[in-house]
Structure 1
Amino acid sequence: MLQRPSKEEYMAYYEQYVALVGDEPLIDTLAKQLTSTTELLSDIPEQQSNFRYAEGKWTLKEVIGHISDNERVMSYRLLRIARGDNTPLAGYDQDQFMSGSSFQDWSLSQIIEDYISVRKATLTLLRGLSDEAWQRIGSANGTEITARAIAYIIAGHELHHWRIIQDKYLG
Structure 2
Amino acid sequence: MDQRPAQDEYTEFQSRYISLVPPEGDLRVILREQTERILGLLGGLTEEQGSFRYAPEKWSIKEVIGHLIDNDRIMSYRLLCFARGEQAQLPGYEESDYAAAAEYDRFTLQEVLTHYRIVRESTLDLLDSLPENSYTRTGMFNGVAMSVRAQACLITGHELHHLRILQERYLH
- In the other structure, the counterpart of 2:167 is 166
Cα distance in 2 for partners of 1:135, 1:24 equals 17
Conserved 8 A contact 2:65-2:116: yes
Offset at 1:91? 0.4
- In the other structure, the counterpart of 1:8 is 8
Cα distance in 2 for partners of 1:170, 1:2 equals 31
Offset at 1:36? 1.4
What amino acid does structure 1 have at the position aligned with 2:153? Y
- In the other structure, the counterpart of 2:124 is 123
2:4 is the counterpart of 1:17 = no
Offset at 1:40? 1.2
TM-score normalised to structure 1 length:
0.97
Cα distance in 1 for partners of 2:36, 2:169 equals 22
What amino acid does structure 1 have at the position aligned with 2:146? I
2:53 is the counterpart of 1:52 = yes
What amino acid does structure 1 have at the position aligned with 2:3? Q
Offset at 1:2? 2.8
TM-score normalised to structure 2 length:
0.97
Offset at 1:41? 1.3
Conserved 8 A contact 2:52-2:170: yes
SS state at 1:100 partner = helix
- In the other structure, the counterpart of 1:74 is 75
Gaps of 5+ in 1: none
Conserved 8 A contact 2:135-2:148: yes
Q: How do 1:106-117 and structure 2 match up within 5 A?
A: 106-117=107-118
Cα-to-partner distance string for 1:15-39 (whole Å, 9 max, x where unaligned): 1111111122111101111111111
- In the other structure, the counterpart of 2:84 is 83
SS state at 1:132 partner = helix
Query: Where do 4+ consecutive residues of structure 1 move more than 4 Å?
Result: none
- In the other structure, the counterpart of 1:31 is 32
Offset at 1:60? 0.7
Cα-to-partner distance string for 1:38-61 (whole Å, 9 max, x where unaligned): 111112111111111112111111
Cα distance in 2 for partners of 1:55, 1:11 equals 32
Cα distance in 2 for partners of 1:41, 1:141 equals 33
What amino acid does structure 2 have at the position aligned with 1:54? A
Give the fraction of aligned pairs with identical amino acids, expressed as a percent. Answer: 42
Conserved 8 A contact 2:138-2:145: yes
- In the other structure, the counterpart of 1:141 is 142
Conserved 8 A contact 2:67-2:99: yes
SS state at 2:135 partner = helix
